[in-house]
Every structure is written in C-alpha cells, then in structure tokens.
C-alpha cells in the first residue's frame, strides 16, 4: 500500500540516525516508487535537515524543488558514486531523495468540497478537487507562477449547479473564467503564464464538449446532418439537427454560440430546446436580405416550448412563412431582428406562458396572418421599431393581448396599410401604445377592449 509523503519524509529523516543498510535503503526506495507518478511536480518539498556536509563530500545543491529528468540523473551520479570514490553519507542520500520526491506528483486523492466557494491550494497538486452544492460554486485559481508555475489538477463538479473557475490573474483557455456544469470534469494545467483546461468525454454530463470561446456552427441547404457543423464546408442540413446537437452534445460554458444559416429555403422549422452551460444562442440568417433565408413550414418556423431557456435567444435575418412565424410558450427572452413576416396561416408572432419576445430592429410584414402580434397568459411582447408593410396584408386582428399579458408598442411605428381589426385587448390584457390613439395599428376596422382589457 502506498505511503503518504509525510510517512516517507519520516523514513528519510531516520537515515541520519542509523547505518544505512541495503535492505533499509531498498525499503525507502520501494515506498517512493509506490508513492510517486511520472508527472512533473510543482509542490515544494520539505526542506532537508540542516546538517553540515562532511569534509570532502561531493554534493549537489539541496534545492528540495522539482527537477527535470536529466537534472535528477546528474544528481544521482554525483551524489551516489561508486564505492571506490567518496562515501554515500546520510546527508547525500537525504538530499537526493528529497529532490526525487519534489520532482514527482504526489499520490492521487479526492479533495471533496461541499461549500459554494473554494480556492485551489498547493496541496491540490495532482489531486481530484470535487465540488458539490445545489447553489452556484465559485472556484478561485491562484496566479500560475511560483509554486503554481508547473501545476496541474483534476476538477469535477458533482453537484447540480454550475461551478465557475476564475483565475485571480491571467486567463483560463483564453477567457476570464470557465464554467463547469454538473456532472462534468476537466483537467487544468498551468503553463507558467495562463491556465489551460481540457474537458473529459464520458463524464456525468454525457460526454459534452465544453466550449471555451464563442463558437459558430453552420447550416446549409447543401449540408448533411452527418457532418460536424463546425465549418461552412461541413455544415448541417437542418435547423433542428443543429439544435439537437447543441443541446445534447455541447456545454456552452457561458459562451456565445451562433448557428450561421446559409441562404435558401428550409422546409422544416426548429423547436429550440434548453441547452447546457448558460451563454447565449443566435440563429443568424441573412441580415441584409432576410428574404434570401427562408423558413417555410406548415408548423412553427421558430418555436420555444420544450422548457425554459438558460440564456438569451436571438433570431436574426429570416423570412418566415407557412404556419406560425415565432412561437414562444415557456420562460425565455427572445429577440428577433431583421425579420420578414410573410404569409402565415396562424400568427406571425405568438407569445404566451411567461415568455418575453422583443423586436431588436426594424422589420418587414410582407404577408397576411391570423394575428400579427399576439400576447397572452402573463407574457410580454415588445414592438419598439418601424415595421414596413408591403402590399396590403389582412389580419383578423393586427394586435391581440389577453389574460394578464402585455403588448408594449411604445416607440413602434408602421409604414403601409393593412385590412382587418386593428387591435383587441381582453381578460386583463394590456396593449400599451403610449397614447398612440385608436388608429395606431394598421387595419381598417376599429379595435376593441373587453373583460378588463386595456388599450393605452
């Protein structure tokens, strides 16, 4: 059974108090072999005893610090000569053995931490630091210099929350911090200037790849869902496959993730599901020509309905048509920009179930729909930009708001005309135009309020 560093230190100290027999020396060396691994160390050894060298001794410096393999070989040759020249004294032997211990990684063990904060210590060298807490965990990395200049350790988040590892100086994987979600593990190494981390596949997070920087994935009408999606030349074919891979195989690590969607027509929409690791997600089409990047499906073009999203969602540069353009029915913050709402059998925008949807830029309405902007069931829809109507689209109602929801249109304006009812507010729904008046929304029929609905 491997002994601890402290036990071996006592064995070495005992060399000064007795005659060094081959059997005893063999025992000490065997214990060192059991104790050590072949990885370089950064934990300083205990200082050797301060005995003065004997006259005529040849001795390497008592550094007690990590040595390279070649330096250790030179020290062994100098300190442990043949019996015909010089003597192997206890001091020489202690010096060499201390340097050997300092040059190897210590035995592996688990440092289990159950709090919400922890600072990596020199004693964690070569160890598994395992954290577990239901609340977010903050882990601090010391500067990667001095005792941490050639330092490494394993880290596992065994809890349900996210552990954020932050260097006090420098970076980790080029970023200010690294988020490790529950069930995931990483190996962290100092390069003497910054910290580097490698994620382990097959950990509790399902073998997820943890992103260390903002990352772009690609979808194209000429792509293939068997590709990896990492370049335009290896693009995926469908929006839904892109979402499935991102949600199932990646940990965003707090980074901004973009799905770059190439020009063309996509006949299937995407159900945007919760992803792991926070950060943000953007589906990016053609911001200069949204009509060149079309999602045309009988169902929902872009839907959020499978669970609350862990970060902000942006949809930018698309023409939507067919069934419903944007459908948000769970807690999320969704921003759409540079959109072209073409003909839909359902609504252009449906917001309910506590979702928040915001316009992020001017947009175009080029086709009819049942309702252009619909907010219901304690939700929030904000339209604060210029919407340009082309042709004369028709709506059963341009704007509707029901059941304690809010449709906020202060700052919005409309260019062009439409037919149909301008607005409808009922069941304590509030449409806020900032005093825009009865004809604020496009249409040719008066709006109405009922059952506590308000139009302001």
Rounded to whole angstroms, how far apart are CA atoms 232 and 101?
Answer: 51
- According to the model, what pLDDT value does residue 198 have? 83
3-state secondary structure of 441: coil
Side-chain-facing half-sphere of 38: CA atoms under 13 Å:
1
pLDDT of residue 249: 82
The pLDDT, as a whole number, for residue 109 is 82
**What is the side-by-side order of every strand in the sheet holding 454-455?**
215-219, 256-261, 280-284, 313-316, 333-337, 356-359, 380-382, 406-408, 430-432, 454-455
Name the pTM for this structure.
0.61
- Residue for token digits 């911001």? 287
Side-chain half-sphere exposure of 167, counting CA atoms within 13 A? 21
Give residue 197's pLDDT: 86
Per-residue pLDDT, 216: 96
The whole-number mean pLDDT for each consecutive block of 10 residues of the chain, a chain of 456 residues, reads: 61 61 62 51 39 41 53 67 63 71 66 95 90 90 90 88 87 80 85 86 54 92 91 94 89 93 98 94 98 97 94 98 97 97 98 97 98 97 97 98 97 97 98 97 98 97
Collapsing DSSP to helix, strand or coil, 363 comes out as strand
CA distance 174 to 196: 8
Residues whose CB falls within 8 Å of the CB of residue 233, separated by 6 or more in sequence, listed in order = none
pLDDT of residue 50: 42
- Number of C-alpha atoms within 13 angstroms, CB side, residue 47? 3
Distance, CA of 348 to CA of 376 (rounded, Å): 14
Please report the domains of the chain, with CATH numbers, ordered by start residue: 5-102 (no CATH), 110-199 (2.60.120), 215-455 (2.160.20)
Residue 350: CB atoms within 10 A of its CB come to: 26
Q: Residue 12 to residues 61, 155, 350: CA-CA distances in angstroms?
A: 17, 32, 75
Report the pLDDT value the prediction gives residue 212, as an integer from 0 to 100: 81
Give residue 385's pLDDT. 97
Cα 313 to Cα 20, 110, 177, 302, 453, distances in angstroms: 71, 38, 22, 11, 29
């Amino acid at each position: 059974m491997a002994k601890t560093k402290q036990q071996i230190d006592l064995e070495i100290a005992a060399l000064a108090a007795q005659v060094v027999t081959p059997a005893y020396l063999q025992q000490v060396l065997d214990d060192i072999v059991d104790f050590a691994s072949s990885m370089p160390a950064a934990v300083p050894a205990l200082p050797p005893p301060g005995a003065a060298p004997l006259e005529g001794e040849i001795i390497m410096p008592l550094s007690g610090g990590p040595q390279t393999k070649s330096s250790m070989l030179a020290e062994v040759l100098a300190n442990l000569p043949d019996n015909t020249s010089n003597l192997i004294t206890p001091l020489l032997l202690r010096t060499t053995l201390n340097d050997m211990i300092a040059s190897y990684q210590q035995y592996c063990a688990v440092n289990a931490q159950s709090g919400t904060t922890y600072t990596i210590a020199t004693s964690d060298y070569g160890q598994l630091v395992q954290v577990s807490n239901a609340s977010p965990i903050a882990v601090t990395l010391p500067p990667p210099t001095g005792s941490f200049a050639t330092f490494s350790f394993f880290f596992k988040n065994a809890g349900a929350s996210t552990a954020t590892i932050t260097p006090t100086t420098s970076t980790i994987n080029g970023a200010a911090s690294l988020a490790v979600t529950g069930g995931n593990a990483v190996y962290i190494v100092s390069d003497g200037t910054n910290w580097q981390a490698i994620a382990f596949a097959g950990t509790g997070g399902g073998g997820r790849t943890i992103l260390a920087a903002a990352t772009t994935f690609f979808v194209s009408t000429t792509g293939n869902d068997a590709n990896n999606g990492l370049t335009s030349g290896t693009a995926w074919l469908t929006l839904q496959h892109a979402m499935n891979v991102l949600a199932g195989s990646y940990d965003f690590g707090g980074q901004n993730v973009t799905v770059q969607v190439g020009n063309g027509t996509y006949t299937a929409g995407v159900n945007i599901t919760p992803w792991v690791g926070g950060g943000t997600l953007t589906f990016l089409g053609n911001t200069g020509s949204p009509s060149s990047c079309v999602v045309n499906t009988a169902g929902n073009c872009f839907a959020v309905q499978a669970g609350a999203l862990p970060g902000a969602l942006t949809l930018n540069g698309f023409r939507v048509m067919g069934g419903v353009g944007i459908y948000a029915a769970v807690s999320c913050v969704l921003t759409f920009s540079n959109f072209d709402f073409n003909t839909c059998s359902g609504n252009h925008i449906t917001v309910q179930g506590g979702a928040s949807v915001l316009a992020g830029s001017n947009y175009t309405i080029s086709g009819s729909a049942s309702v252009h902007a619909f907010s219901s069931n304690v939700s929030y829809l904000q339209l604060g930009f210029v919407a340009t109507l082309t042709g004369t689209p028709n709506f059963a109602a341009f704007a509707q708001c029901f059941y304690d929801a809010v449709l906020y249109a202060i700052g919005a304006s409309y260019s062009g005309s439409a037919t149909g009812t301008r607005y409808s507010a009922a069941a304590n729904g509030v449409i806020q135009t900032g005093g825009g008046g009865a004809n604020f929304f496009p249409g040719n029929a008066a709006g109405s309020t009922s059952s506590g609905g308000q139009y302001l």
